[in-house]
Amino acid sequence: MATETLQTQEAKVMLFEKCRQFTTAREIQAAGLYPYFKPISESEDTLVTIEGAKKIMLGSNNYLGLTHHPKVLEAATKALHRYGSGCTGSRFLNGSLDLHEQLEAALATFLGKEAALVFSTGYGANLGLISGLTARGETIYLDKLDHACIVDGAKLSYGETQRFNHGDLAHLTRLLERNTTGKGTMIVVDGVYSMEGDIADIPELSKIAKRFGAALVVDDAHSLGVLGPNGEGTGAHFGMQSDVDIIAGTFSKSLASVGGFVAADESVIHFLKHHSRPFIFTASLPPANTAGVLAALQVLQDEPERRTSLWANAKHLADGFRALGFEIGETATPIIPVLIGPLETTFVFWRKLYDAGVFTNPVVPPAVPPSQCRLRTSVMATHTPAQIDEALDAFGRIGRELGVI
């Protein structure tokens, strides 16, 4: 008995050994350069208070600046008092509200699809879509820079996964040509890639999908409210919304809340309602969040000037970086990555910007190669020209000091 206890204890020690050996983050913390989990104590849209000091928020996905819109706050408050703080169950059982169905109908109409399904998170939407729809023997083709939730959805599915080099549609074509299974195929891409800011080539992807009989799935997490004539996303940006078979997305960016969705033909949505495990076994989106998203979706359509301001701010910031001599890659959206280079320089640059009152997001390995570390910036419609200029001044001063420019 004593031997069994000792073996059990040794097994537990082995399980936790990797935790004790993980010292990287603590070393960065000790150096005063740790950039993550910074608690915000107050938010004023483009300004946040962290550790008692105000910072220009240049690292948010709040593209249209709707988190503080009075109509969004009013709708969320009313729903909180009418329905309570949560649904305490999944949509499949006791957690469906009329608000959920209203939001699904509004999303389907806005996106030009027959139906939509609301998930509790954007991560869960892609997880549930891909794992729920792909059966054994079928194949999923992913861009190598697809978001983690797309990759994890493919892992959770019973299908086979093939990954093509980022934006390399010749590589995708070669992979599809090798597929002789005769089974279903799905191509999944981000509409806008969140660390690069580039846009998926929907026209060419559509041609490839049609040639091989594959379903084309686009994650419009960073596209909704940003791209398209009315903010409908990547497909609409190219005038090809009907060529995108399934649109997935999140409410945690332009729609200023949390949650996600899938929009497609009614038969696809009906199937997912009964086969998507992340949908069936997750508590439903809380009432206040659902009502807030409904209001934000309406504001998105009623106030197109916000999108105009967003793009003006994106141009202002991108042009400013280029004029200073920074490398910002192939970005074509309000996501603007600033290439710094080495890991240590990136963390030092982040810290100096932070101390200067500018909040950014460092992107380091394994997300990027060790020599291509960067600071990810993104603008909102509500940033003022003065705030952008202040941020650019700080970037320029620190860039010259560190020898980046």
What's the pLDDT at 101? 98
54: annotated active-site residue: no
Is residue 131 annotated as a catalytic residue, yes or no? no
Residue 222 is among the residues annotated as catalytic for this protein:
yes
Q: Give me the DSSP letters along 193-256.
A: -TTT--B--HHHHHHHHHHHTPEEEEE-TTTTTTSSTTS--HHHHTT-GGG-SEEEEESSSTTS
Residue 41's CB is within 10 A of a number of other CB atoms, namely: 9
Q: Which of 113, 237, 253, 383 is catalytic?
A: 253
pLDDT score at 317: 98
Looking at every residue in the chain, the average pLDDT score rounds to: 96
DSSP 335-391: EEEEEEESHHHHHHHHHHHHHTTEE-EEE-TTSS-GGGEEEEEE--TT--HHHHHHH
Select which of 60, 157, 194, 223 is catalytic.
194
The pLDDT of residue 8: 80
Task: Supply the pLDDT for residue 13.
Answer: 86
pLDDT of res. 3: 60
Marked catalytic residue, from 113, 222, 237, 383: 222
Q: What is the pTM of this model?
A: 0.95
pLDDT recorded at residue 123? 98
Residue 225's pLDDT is 98
Q: Provide CB contacts within 8 A for 378, sequence distance 6+.
A: 58, 59, 60, 61, 63, 334, 335, 336
Q: What is the predicted pLDDT for the residue at 377?
A: 98
Q: What is the pLDDT of residue 131?
A: 97
Taking the CA atoms of 128, 300, 254 and 223 in sequence, report the sign of the dihedral they define.
positive
pLDDT score, position 2: 54
Residues with pLDDT less than 50, the chain:
1
- The confidence score (pLDDT) of residue 10 equals 82
Domains along the chain? 28-57+304-401 (3.90.1150.10), 70-302 (3.40.640.10)
Sheet holding 115-119, edge to edge: 115-119, 260-264, 246-250, 215-219, 185-190, 139-143, 160-164
Say which residue the tokens 């309406």 belong to: 298
Distances (CA, A) of 245 to 214, 218, 219, 260: 9, 8, 11, 17
